[in-house]
Structure 1
Amino acid sequence: MSDLASKKIFAGPRIRRLRRELGLSQSQMASELGFSTSYLNLVERNQRPVSAQFLLRLAEVYDVELSAFAGTDEARAFADLSEILADPMFKGLDLSRGEMQDMADAAPQAVEAFSLLYKSFQQAKQSATELSSQVVERGGAEPDAIFPVDEVRDFIHDRKNYFPELDEAAEALHEELGLHRDDAFMVLAGRLDEEHGIRVRIMPYEVMPETLRHFDLHRRQLLISEMLDASTRVFQLALQIAMLEYRPVVLRIGDSHSWRTEEARRLVRISLFNYIAGALLMPYSRFLNDAKALKYDIEHMSRRYGASFEQVCHRLTTLQRPGERGVPFFFIRLDKAGNVSKRFSAGRFHFSRFGGTCPLWRVHDTFSTPGKIDTQIIEMPDNTRYFSVARTVSRQGARYGDPDQQLAIGLGCDIAYARELIYARGHDLENPEATPVGPNCRLCERPACPQRANPPLTKSLVLDERSRGISAYRFSQE
């Protein structure tokens, strides 16, 4: 509650939607909450911020989560709408930022429907382009993929990367096994042997040069490559147990959604099995209590749980149990070329759907200082500020001379939560110096950015051969 009470919140459309869902008039709701009808009227029209007392009373009377009024859905809807309307095809509409914000506040679900239509349009357009290319090149066509990775990301994001039934099941098994860091491999290998008749074998590189884990169903063997480090070997055993013991609940969750492709259905199952594996090794309540006690020191948590830096970061994004919540983190993983391979968000930070990230975000700079934690306060174009922690993780080459794989991990949260993090030491959180960033260059309208790689889709280029500015692109401000 302290985070919501510490800043002004205008939640009129959300409260109005709640009142209508409950079938109440303004006077009825005001009476039940113990406030005047005039106050509720002003709140619903966003002419008055919501007081802490009002929020507490709302949660008490109608049994709603306070986080529902933090603006997560509206923030995401506004980001989606801004990105979609940046497409040149909408240039003639001339919608102001205020109008888009009003749409997002009043009807975030309608914006989501609009977003689905736009995605379908983009997919159809791409399919038509690929089909034309295939007809020209080969005289025939093949079935088109419908972005299963994006579909699964949306599914996980909509649930704030939290699946309570999986956490509860994993927590119970953790207690049953008496799982601890020092003997985790032996305990999990014993579970596979005793309960499933599966033997775990560590295989030499020569036998499995291109495979890290393989389950031999016929011989009842789980084969693990010797090239995996200790924490990853343990994770692979936990993953195998998840696939053997929790398939029914994973299928139930996955099949509750209408998937557009079979690939997406299979991919979400793999994601959920990985979720269980992480929850088994880092059980919810104990992990959250340790995280709070250690002020979210990721490297300390990594040593305590025998997990990798990335595994701990990923787990931190899932701590959204009602009444027992952690900091709502967002997570991103990218390579040196800026390709995003993972992204999750339990908070309101919204990543660009159709592009990379801003080069001014120092998650990119970590490649020049491998293994070193880099912190930064960033500010998005809508003036929201976030605290960011970034570091590289490395996957060593299989043998001498083979290239290592380096990835950058970014973990962040709304600046209101930064005081809970050990990494905020030395930062002035009352008067922060924030780096202005954007979703990506195509969607950012900040002028004179020295890192700009592309002009914004929403603006017209200003071309002047007599002059060269800081940015390679100048554009109108209209």
Structure 2
Amino acid sequence: MSNKQRIFAGTQLRALRKRHQLRQAELARQLGISPSYLSQLEHDDRPLTPPLIGRLASTFPLDWQDFPSEDTEHLSVLLREAVADPIFDSPLDQNMIGRLAEQQPAFARRFIDLRTAFRRASQRLEMFDEALTVDADEGSRLPWEEVRDWFHLSNNYVDPIDRAAEDLAARIGGQATVLSIEALCRHLKERHSITVEIRPAETLRSYNAAGNVLVIDAGQPMASIRFQIAYHVVVTTLGEMINMLAKTAQLRSDVARALLTVGLANYASGALLMPYGHFRKAARAFRHDVDRLALHYQSSFEQTCHRLSTMQREGERGLPIFFCRVDMAGNITKRHSATRLQFARFGGTCPLWVVHEAAAIPDRIQVQLAETPDGVRYVSIAKGLVKTSGRFDRNPRRYAVALGCEIQHAGEFVYADGIDIASERGATPIGVSCRICPRSDCEQRAYPPNDQRISVSPLQRGVVPYEFAENEHAE
């Protein structure tokens, strides 16, 4: 597959033109192209070119957030997962899937959404109590899935908010590169007449608008207390920008927009506490040592990992990494990848991935050299975390976070220093998920891949009770 990304965005272009009440000739003039060329773009007869992408991004910065920015590989992975469903008799040719993802991205996304809707409908039939409480007319994606995908399509970087938060950090802290709790509280008091009280409370953060009092639960770790105060700083200062982005996002429900508003405020909080320019420079200097960065910026391990995953500013990109958070049940609750590694949209993660081991052993960084079925190798780290509740009668929250990069960037990743990245047998063979992993010799399979026929012999048993059909006569 070509490394040069081709983006077909006819639907988005037409929507943009109608939203701004522009005729084709008017939009073509703004973009410096002919009306006939614009017509071809709107009908997906031609892809967007890099110069045209730049003009769209600069002329319509807010609208550009809604344009397709995912690469073809990512869409191909999602499409392959969908067509591998057992309801289909036979898998599609992989080259055909790649061409569909590249040439008909809108159709590919609709197909993925349709398969998701079918799967959810099947689950509702199996779980009667869920069927009684879920609206049958809802969209194919749940609100939080829409928001997750919105951030992924934004490459986990929101330029206007990131830059505004960086400017705000400079105004609050002056020459200081790290904002203290005192500086944040002083800003709220002097600029917004809001008093911050850090004391035992039933909720992590609550605001009394009548008394202009922000209450932060003192039972949280200091990094979390600081983040909660920063959240209120960005909501009061950058709230209009955040609300506008959420309002204009192409989401299906008010619930999704509300979730996006909170997500953007959380994003802005991280950008305020770890300003892009300073943080990117420090990350390079520390070779992306998360503990050193967290100590320097007074942030938590997770906050620091999350911020590292947002270093996607044009012309000032950081290390291309993947990042995710996994709970004790194996659910991925946060995820982003600027690498070729993609996380499964359907089903669980690979049991051989180090993140599962880390979840059981908190506060110790686990390092793994992993190789995916496409032959790409990654240096991956994972750390189990325990977030205390601050009191005996509330269970702490337990999960693990994972971070990694492809081995060609190992020189900038301190965790690669102790492993032999060139070792032939030193890499752990992992997959996206059992559902689509093509490995026939994996002893950790939960179930066979959906696009493979299997052979079962009553008189023979290996580690798993089946073989791939194409290998049944192999010597």
Aligned to 1:185: 181
Q: How far is the alpha carbon of 1:400 from its aligned partner?
A: 4.2
- Alpha-carbon contact 1:202-1:223 (below 8 Å) kept: yes
Q: How far is the alpha carbon of 1:371 from its aligned partner?
A: 1.3
**Does 2:110 correspond to 1:118?**
no
Name the TM-score, length of structure 1 as normaliser.
0.79
Q: What do the CA deviations read for 1:98-117 (whole angstroms, capped 9, x no partner)?
A: 33234334444542343234
- Alpha-carbon contact 2:178-2:273 (below 8 Å) kept: no
- Alpha-carbon contact 2:312-2:318 (below 8 Å) kept: yes
**Does 2:164 correspond to 1:169?**
yes
- Alpha-carbon contact 2:8-2:103 (below 8 Å) kept: no
Q: 1:90 aligns with which of 88, 106, 112?
A: 88
- Alpha-carbon contact 1:78-1:104 (below 8 Å) kept: yes
Q: 1:302 to 1:76 in 2, by over 3 A?
A: same
**More off after superposition, 169-178 vs 388-397:** 388-397
**More off after superposition, 108-117 vs 265-274:** 108-117
C-alpha separation between the residues in 2 aligned to 1:11 and 1:183? 41
Give 1:263-342 correspondences, 5 Å limit.
Answer: 263-342=255-334
Q: Secondary structure of the equivalent of 2:415? A: helix
Q: 1:183 to 1:97 in 2, by over 3 A?
A: closer
Q: Which amino acid aligns with 1:263?
A: V
Q: 2:432 aligns with which of 436, 439, 445?
A: 439
Name the TM-score, length of structure 2 as normaliser.
0.80
C-alpha separation between the residues in 2 aligned to 1:334 and 1:250? 27
Q: What do the CA deviations read for 1:345-374 (whole angstroms, capped 9, x no partner)?
A: 233321111222101001111134321111
- Alpha-carbon contact 2:179-2:273 (below 8 Å) kept: no
Give 1:62-101 correspondences, 5 Å limit.
Answer: 73-92=71-90, 94-101=91-98
Q: Which amino acid aligns with 2:75?
A: A
Aligned to 1:456: 449
Q: How far is the alpha carbon of 1:276 from its aligned partner?
A: 0.5
Aligned to 1:5: none
Aligned residues: 421
Q: Return 5+ residue gaps in structure 1 as ranges.
A: 1-8, 25-57, 66-70
Q: Which amino acid aligns with 1:170?
A: A
C-alpha separation between the residues in 2 aligned to 1:228 and 1:464? 56
Q: 1:291 to 1:342 in 2, by over 3 A?
A: same
- Alpha-carbon contact 2:322-2:341 (below 8 Å) kept: yes
The runs of 4+ residues in structure 1 deviating greater than 6 Å are 21-24, 58-65, 127-130, 140-143
C-alpha separation between the residues in 1 aligned to 2:178 and 2:350? 40
C-alpha separation between the residues in 2 aligned to 1:333 and 1:16? 32
C-alpha separation between the residues in 2 aligned to 1:381 and 1:340? 21
Q: Secondary structure of the equivalent of 2:370? A: strand
- Alpha-carbon contact 1:448-1:470 (below 8 Å) kept: no
- Alpha-carbon contact 2:454-2:469 (below 8 Å) kept: yes
Aligned to 1:40: none
Q: What do the CA deviations read for 1:137-167 (whole angstroms, capped 9, x no partner)?
A: 79x9787585111111110000100011111
Q: Which amino acid aligns with 1:194?
A: E
**Does 2:234 correspond to 1:234?**
no
Q: What do the CA deviations read for 1:425-462 (whole angstroms, capped 9, x no partner)?
A: 03333456322111112222322322112232223342
Q: 1:251 aligns with which of 226, 243, 246?
A: 243
Q: Secondary structure of the equivalent of 2:333? A: strand
Q: Secondary structure of the equivalent of 2:351? A: coil
Q: Secondary structure of the equivalent of 1:88? A: coil
Q: 1:473 to 1:371 in 2, by over 3 A?
A: farther
